[in-house]
């Protein structure tokens, strides 16, 4: 049983998220999503449109086996150990960075390309919920 773990907010769930989850699941047999809590997002200055409990409904997606809370930046090693994770998947937004290299001592680290043309921010912008795309 190969276990895969990925992190994110998954706000206003869209096909870019689904593509990511599908490809992450295809790297193994069991997919865990560490879903950013509202409190963790607040420390990053981010406010999700949907709260944690609403976003957690993504556990119904067929590719997702388990959703756990992402509460801070430091929990990744203990997540990998506690959930016997073989592969951590990050979005390609982090691909050029060595920020998560320390995880390679504990598991495989894979960066998956983002789906072009879609983001939570773009949806908010297109619906007139925010003025700026960034």
Cβ closer to ligand C2G: 30 or 119? Answer: 119
Measured from the Cβ of residue 15, the count of other Cβ atoms closer than 10 Å reads: 11
Catalytic residue among 2, 44, 81, 133: 44
- We find the least distance from the C-beta atom of residue 11 to ligand C2G, in angstroms, to be 6
Taking the alpha carbons at both ends of the chain, their separation in whole angstroms is: 39
User: Is 131 marked active-site?
Assistant: no
User: Which of 4, 20, 58, 67 contacts ligand C2G by CB under 6 A?
Assistant: 20
User: Which of 3, 4, 10, 80 contacts ligand C2G by CB under 6 A?
Assistant: 10
Tokens of 85: 């994770």
The beta-carbon contacts of 126-131 under 8 Å, at least 24 apart in sequence, are 129/49
Q: Is 34 in the site for ligand C2G (CB under 6 A)?
A: no
Cβ closer to ligand C2G: 9 or 37? Answer: 9
User: Is 124 marked active-site?
Assistant: no
Residue with tokens 């050029």: 96
Distance of alpha carbon 122 from alpha carbon 44, whole angstroms: 19
Could you tell me how many residues of this chain bind ligand C2G (CB under 6 A)? 18
Tokens of 11: 């706000």
User: Please, are residues 6 and 20 in contact by the beta-carbon 8 Å criterion?
Assistant: yes
Interface ranges with ligand C2G (CB under 6 A) = 6-10, 16-17, 20, 36, 90-91, 93-94, 114-115, 118-120
Give the active site residues: 44, 46
């Amino acid at each position: 049983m190969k276990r895969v773990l990925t992190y994110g907010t998954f706000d206003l769930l869209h096909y870019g998220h689904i593509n990511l989850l599908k490809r992450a699941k295809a790297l193994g047999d069991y997919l865990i999503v560490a879903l950013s809590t509202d409190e963790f997002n607040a420390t990053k200055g981010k406010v999700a449109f949907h709260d944690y409990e609403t976003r957690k409904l993504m556990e119904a997606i067929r590719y997702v086996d388990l959703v756990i809370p992402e509460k801070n930046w430091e929990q990744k090693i203990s997540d990998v150990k506690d959930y016997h994770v073989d592969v951590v998947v990050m979005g390609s937004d982090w691909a050029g960075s060595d920020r998560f290299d320390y995880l390679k001592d504990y598991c495989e680290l894979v960066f998956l390309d983002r789906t072009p043309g879609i983001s939570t921010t773009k949806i908010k912008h297109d619906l007139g919920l925010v003025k700026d795309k960034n």
